[in-house]
Amino acid sequence: MFSLNDRPTKLCDGLSRREVLRIGGLSAMGLSLPNLLQARDSAPLGIPPTDKTFGRAKNVIFLYLAGGPPQHETLDPKPDAPADIRGPFNPISTNVPGIQFCELLPRTAAMADKLAVVRSMATDDNTHSSSSHWVLTGYKYVGPNPRTIQPTDWPYFGSIIKRYKPSEILPPLSTVWIPDVMRLNENVTPAGQSGGFMGSEWDPDRFVGDPSQPDYQVDGLSMAEQLPAELLARQKLLAKVERPFDAARRGPDVQLFDKFQQQAFDLLTSGKAQEAFAIERESAQVRERYGNNRWGQCVLMARRLVEAGVRLVHVQWPREPGDNAVDNPLWDTHAQNADRVEDVLCPTFDVGFTALIEDLEQRGLLDETLVVAIGEFGRTPKINAKGGRDHWGPVFSCALAGAGISGGQVYGKSDAHGGHPVEDRVQPGDLTGTIFHLLGIDYQSAFTDREGREHRLTGGKPLFKLLGTEAATDKLIASTGDVSRVPPFDPSITLMQADFSSDEPLKPLDAPSRPKGWRATPLSVDGSPLAFGTTVVAEQAAIGLHAGANDLAVSIKQGEMAVLAQEVRSPFAGTYTLRVQLRGEASSQEEFDGWFQKHFACRLEMFEFTEATKNASNRKPLATSDVSPKFSTDDKIFETFELSKEFINASPGGNFSFGIGMGIAVIVEKKSEGVLEIVPGTSPLSRVRIANVQLDFAGKPRNAKVKV
The confidence band for 252, taking pLDDT boundaries of 50, 70 and 90, is very low
State the sign of the Cα–Cα–Cα–Cα dihedral 11, 17, 18, 24: positive
Can you tell me the mean pLDDT for 297-314?
A: 97
What's the pLDDT band for 231 if we cut at 50, 70, 90? very low
pLDDT in the model for residue 184: 86
Concatenating the DSSP letter of every residue in 122-174 gives ------HHHHHHHHHHSS---SS-TTS--TTSPPPHHHHHHHHS--SS-GGGS
pLDDT attached to residue 221: 62
Query: According to CATH, what is the number of the domain 32-469?
Result: 3.40.720.10
The per-residue pLDDT of the chain, averaged, comes to: 86
**Would the pLDDT of 15 be above 60?**
no
Question: CB within 8 A of 395, min separation 6: which ones?
Answer: 71, 119, 120, 121, 122, 378, 414, 415, 418, 419, 420, 421
Identify the pLDDT of residue 703.
60
- Pick from 372, 321, 399: which is nearest to 571 by CA? 321
What mean pLDDT do residues 659-672 have?
96
Confidence band, pLDDT 50/70/90 cuts, at residue 327: very high
pLDDT reported for residue 5: 30
Q: Residue 520 pLDDT more than 50? A: yes
Please give the average per-residue pLDDT across 175-202, as a whole number.
Answer: 91
Residue type, 141: Y
Question: What percent of the chain has pLDDT above 70?
Answer: 83
Higher pLDDT pick, 695 / 222: 695
Look at residue 24 in the predicted model and tell me its pLDDT: 32
Query: pLDDT band for position 50 (50/70/90)?
Result: confident
pLDDT exceeds cutoff 50 at 1: no
The average pLDDT across 54-77 equals: 97
280 CB-side CA count, 13 A? 8
In the prediction, which pLDDT does 499 show?
A: 93
The pLDDT value given to residue 679: 75
pLDDT band at 253 (very low <50, low <70, confident <90, very high): very low
| Torsion of Cα atoms, 346 then 351 then 353 then 354, to 10° | 130
Mean pLDDT of 17-41: 34
Give per-residue pLDDT as tens, 682-708.
667 899 999 999 999 999 877 655 455
Distances (CA, A) of 214 to 281, 495, 617: 12, 24, 42
Q: Taking the domains of the chain in order of start, what are their residue ranges?
A: 32-469, 506-699
More confident: 64 or 168: 64
pLDDT in tens, 360-407: 999 999 999 999 999 999 999 999 999 999 999 999 999 999 999 999
- The residues facing 465 across adjacent strands are none
Query: Is the model more confident about 41 or about 178?
Result: 178
Name the fold adopted by 506-699.
Jelly Rolls (2.60.120)
Least trusted range by pLDDT, from 28-42, 568-582, 666-680: 28-42
Question: What 3-state class would DSSP assign to 584?
Answer: strand
Which band of pLDDT confidence, cut at 50, 70 and 90, is reported for residue 505?
A: confident
Q: Which residue has the higher pLDDT, 2 or 266?
A: 266
Question: Mean pLDDT over residues 430-457, rounded?
Answer: 93
Report pLDDT digits (tens) over 457-475: 998 999 999 999 999 999 9
User: In this structure, are residues 100 and 90 in contact, taking their beta carbons and an 8 Å threshold?
Assistant: no
* pLDDT number for residue 635: 83
Is residue 353's pLDDT more than 50? Answer: yes
Model confidence pLDDT, tens digit, residues 331-349: 999 999 999 999 999 999 9
The helix/strand/coil state of 574 is: strand
118 or 220, higher pLDDT: 118
Among the residue ranges 441-455, 564-578, 663-677, 686-700, the one predicted with the least confidence is 441-455
What is the SS3 assignment for 255? Answer: helix
